[in-house]
Amino acid sequence: APHREAERGGGQQTLERVPLELSTTESWLDPFDWYAEMRENHPVRYDERRRVWDVFRYADAARILSDPMTFSSDPTRATELDLPEPEARGPLFETMLTSDGSRHDRLRGVVEESFRPRSLVPRAPHIRDVADDLLDDVVDRGEMDLIADFAYPLPVVVIAELLGVPTEDRPTFKRWSDTLVETPADTSEAGLEAFARERRRVDDELRAYFEAILDDRRTDPRDDLVSDIVHAESDGETLSHEEAVGFCILLLVAGNVTTTNLLGNAVRCLTAHPDAMARLAADPTLTTTAVEEVLRYRSPVQALVRVATRDVELAGADVHTGDAVVPWLGSANRDPAVFDAPDEFRIDRTPNSHLGFGRGTHYCLGAPLARLEARIALEQLFARVTDVERASTELDPVRSAFIYGVRSFPIRYRAHP
Ligand code: HEM
């Protein structure tokens, strides 16, 4: 197999490739002019290179997400995508995110209750303490990297505690998550092979890590999500072992990278709009709508993937059974057909029916948690510091075809007396 290895490397690539138009740093940091042009002139287009349909208008994206019978979330139904061989797919192929119909509902049902707003209310004071502890370490310094010092550790600690895994394993989680969401930097054959190998290694490590924790909770159940998952696995019907492992990994990864980027994107928006930042600092009740506006204006998830289950017409384009379709949430969220002055960042925008958390049956399970964390994080940040400004001019985007944010965001500020 060297040949086979290379095939797999290339296969893993297909879904993670960004369109050529977004392959420069500048365009991936600000794809919005390109989106505008596509919404106007090519609202649904086939990209031969990635072998997917790209969909740019709100109405079409919303229609796709609202019709899961026609647009499946299971990537293995795609005929034109080179997916990894079944034995190399890893546990993330077995989750609610990539399932349809009753299987999806069964999986989602296992943890749905724990993510409802009312289940999360009792956690708010603790999340505030975690945020404050992180800020204690950096407030007097007058500068920090918003990502490394605040936006990354906060959600990771929160989700690790919910799951019931040791928060000290944080640096390892980061390496794992980065490998799972990022696109290979080196696209030579050797580079792709190394990337695919690293990804399989991370799959194996994650599996071993969660198998040990699942084992532990089997004999020693606690009040945490891993114990709920073990419980659902133990009746022999609700969850298979493979699904239980995939479940843990999904919750760790989905709740982590996305919320980090929401916080990073929020402070990126606010430092670019000092008037909005001043208003928010003076009136924290605006935080709720401000978070929604960040989700719309710089959406942490820019694109999703679906597979057509029948021949269907989409804004004049003939999509065939088995074709992969990519609704661009980040573009839908700037569609002037839906949003008044879509390129203006308005922290009090209402209504704001953005697609930042998706729509329909797969609507983000963690949305209430992400909203709570983001609100608390911004409230605490502006309660403790003032005069926040960017401390570097360069920005380095997260290298991913779906996740949108910056890898670091140095800021300067003054501590409130
Ligand atoms: C699904 C975005 C935070 C767990 C989704 C989807 C989006 C999304 C767009 C839809 C995927 C699809 O339709 O294919 C975000 C954003 C977040 C965030 C922008 C933060 C700002 C979280 C958190 C968790 C979480 C904190 C929880 C740990 C999930 C899960 C799904 C999901 C499990 C799959 C739901 C399903 O398939 O039914 N998220 N998410 N997310 N999200 Fe989030």
Tokens at 339, concatenated: 């949003």
* Closest to 366 measured CA to CA, from 254, 223, 249: 254
- Cβ(405) – ligand 1 distance below 6 Å: no
Least confident of 46-55, 81-90, 196-205, 212-221: 81-90
- Ligand 1: residue of 365, 372, 378 to mutate (most ligand atoms within 8 A of CB) is 365
Is residue 98 included in any domain, yes or no?
no
Q: Residue whose CA is closest, atom 39 of ligand 1?
A: 364
Instruction: Report the CATH number at residue 338.
Output: 1.10.630.10
Is 101 inside any structural domain? no
Q: Region 226-242: what's the mean pLDDT?
A: 86
Within-domain flag for 82: no
278 located within any domain: yes
Q: What is the mean pLDDT of residues 368-386?
A: 98
Is residue 159 included in any domain, yes or no? yes
Query: For residue 91, what pLDDT is reported?
Result: 75
Q: Would you call 103 helix, strand, or coil by DSSP?
A: helix
CA distance linking residue 356 with residue 129, whole number of Å: 27
CA dihedral 158, 162, 165, 169 (to 10 degrees): -10
Residue 282 domain-assigned (yes or no): yes
The Cα 283–Cα 106 span in angstroms is 42
User: Does residue 20 contact residue 49 with C-beta atoms inside 8 Å?
Assistant: yes
Residue 14: predicted pLDDT: 58
| CA 2 to ligand 1 center in whole angstroms | 36
Any ligand 1 atom below 6 A from CB of 81: no
Residue 62 in contact with ligand 1 by CB distance below 6 A: no
Give the pLDDT confidence score for residue 235 in this predicted structure.
77
Number of domains in the chain: 1
* Res 8 pLDDT > 60: no
User: Could you tell me if residue 29 is inside a domain?
Assistant: yes
Distances in Å between the Cα of 374 and the Cα atoms of 9, 128, 131, 353, 412 are 36, 11, 10, 18, 20
**Structure confidence at residue 15 as a pLDDT band (50, 70, 90):** low
As a 3-state breakdown, the chain gives helix, strand, coil percent values, each rounded to 5, of 60, 10, 30
Output 204 or 266, whichever has higher pLDDT.
266
**Residue 49, domain extent:** 2-74+112-415
203: pLDDT strictly greater than 70: yes
Proportion of the chain above pLDDT 70, given as a percent: 96
Q: Which residue has the higher pLDDT, 5 or 416?
A: 416
For the chain, give the percent of residues with pLDDT over 90. Answer: 76
CA of 4 to the centre of ligand 1 (A): 33
Q: Could you tell me the two tokens for 282?
A: 């003076």
State the pLDDT at residue 267: 98
Instruction: Give the C-alpha distances (Å, rounded to integers) separating 304 from 4, 97, 120, 412, 416.
Output: 28, 11, 27, 35, 41
Tell whether 100 is covered by a domain: no
Instruction: Tell whether the model's pLDDT for residue 226 goes beyond 90.
Output: yes
* ipTM confidence: 0.98
Residue 1: pLDDT above 50?
no
190 CA → ligand 1 middle, Å: 33
Which atom belonging to ligand 1 lies closest to the Cα atom of 250? 33
Distance 357 CA to ligand 1 centre (A): 6
